Amino acid sequence: MAIWESIPEQFQMVLIILAQVLAVTIVVTLCVAYLTLAERKVIGYIQNRIGPNRVGPKGLLQPFADVIKLLLKEVVVPSSANRFLFVIAPLLSITPALAAWAVMPLFPGFTLANINAGLLYVLALTSLGVYGVILAGWASNSKYAFLGAMRSAAQIVAYEIAMGFALVAVVMASGSLNLGEIVEAQAGGAGLLNWFWLPLFPLFVVYFISGVAETNRAPFDVAEGESEIVAGFHVEYSGVTFAIFFLAEYANMILISALTAVFFLGGWLSPFQGLFGEDSVLGAPGLFWFALKTAFFLFCFLWFRATFPRYRYDQIMRLGWKIFIPVTIVWIFVLGAMIAFQVPPWFA
């Protein structure tokens, strides 16, 4: 304690913030590692097999084995590839996915950076993820990688608009751009009926599906499309650089799941808020509920991958531009009417 007191006050603050940032980042990274294991296990059981069960008890050390294996492998840079961009592209795809956690309301009263324009910050950062994919495709100097990058760029630009419109409605409903205030705007006696998924149901669906498309996950994974373009944008990547792309995809999945939970399922609010009261174990808001909701959406990601065949490319574009965007625009008008007539319990 004496050492701590001797540090000047400004440095104490910097150290505390640094510790918080490290704690959140390490937890998220661990979640990413175990999500890769969860994916193999869940899809394994869906396909009536066991999945990895050899490394450690019940296969729990499998992610570490994978990481060590990938770290020890050689990084091959293709001839006449752009070295600098080739190496920096995976970093560009994982950084936004981790940086967005800065504004995430984890439990009541805790956000790393409680900024007013938090929602805009998240939108700006998620729109940066596409650079990693495009640059990887271009810098690899490979046809397949380039095709994958082009597909991914067009797809992400299309679905970002639908996502943005869905978030416009969230902002209208909550009257705030601050993620913590958006969560609090969903609190109320009706518990889970008070959350925004009900009045914004079409947008909730559109947002989550667009999120799946943004992360290039099945059934929208044409950027990788192994049956058509081998592995798409990361076909030339190996070793650590491949590992980072791999982790970025899972970090993005966790981010989208957490954001959907915050925007539409009331973040850290308990679904039994009105039933048991805020003081009881089940009624109290907390990190547990936030994690549970995020885990539910993550399971949906894995479930989709094991269930749906890949979309055809022109159908992806049609879904994004001709179905999702009109639906969101119409629902913004419906929501405007709901707010104007003060429909209870959300807008009373």
What does the binding site for another protein look like in residue numbers (CB under 8 A)?
85, 115-117, 120-121, 123-124, 127-128, 130-131, 134-135, 138, 146, 149-150, 153-154, 156-157, 160, 177, 314-315, 318
Least separation in angstroms between residue 100's CB and another protein is: 12
- Our CB check for another protein shows the closer of 46 and 154 to be 154
d(CA 122, CA 128): 10
d(CA 92, CA 14): 26
Least separation in angstroms between residue 318's CB and another protein is: 6
Backbone angles phi, psi at 315, to 5 degrees: -70, -35
d(CA 172, CA 186): 13
- Our CB check for another protein shows the closer of 67 and 85 to be 85
- Our CB check for another protein shows the closer of 160 and 249 to be 160
Instruction: Work out whether the CA dihedral 78, 82, 83, 85 comes out positive or negative.
Output: negative
DSSP letter (8 states) at residue 100? G
d(CA 112, CA 103): 6
Q: Please, are residues 271 and 192 in contact by the beta-carbon 8 Å criterion?
A: yes
- Our CB check for another protein shows the closer of 55 and 161 to be 161
Least separation in angstroms between residue 212's CB and another protein is: 19
Q: Please, are residues 196 and 264 in contact by the beta-carbon 8 Å criterion?
A: yes
Least separation in angstroms between residue 202's CB and another protein is: 20
- Our CB check for another protein shows the closer of 92 and 298 to be 92
Rounded to the nearest angstrom, the gap between the alpha carbon of residue 71 and the centroid of all alpha carbons in its chain is 25
Nearest alpha-carbon partner for 152 in 226, 242, 221, 246:
221
Least separation in angstroms between residue 196's CB and another protein is: 20
- Our CB check for another protein shows the closer of 36 and 155 to be 155
d(CA 262, CA 204): 11
Least separation in angstroms between residue 161's CB and another protein is: 9
- Our CB check for another protein shows the closer of 42 and 177 to be 177
DSSP letter (8 states) at residue 103? G
Burial (0-12, 13-18, 19+ Cβ within 10 Å), 34: middle
Q: Please, are residues 207 and 163 in contact by the beta-carbon 8 Å criterion?
A: yes
- Our CB check for another protein shows the closer of 154 and 193 to be 154
Least separation in angstroms between residue 175's CB and another protein is: 10
Least separation in angstroms between residue 119's CB and another protein is: 10
Name the token pair of 90: 């995976």
Name the token pair of 347: 């807008």
Least separation in angstroms between residue 59's CB and another protein is: 39
Q: Is 107 helix (H, G, I), strand (E, B) or coil?
A: strand
DSSP letter (8 states) at residue 309? P
- Our CB check for another protein shows the closer of 120 and 231 to be 120
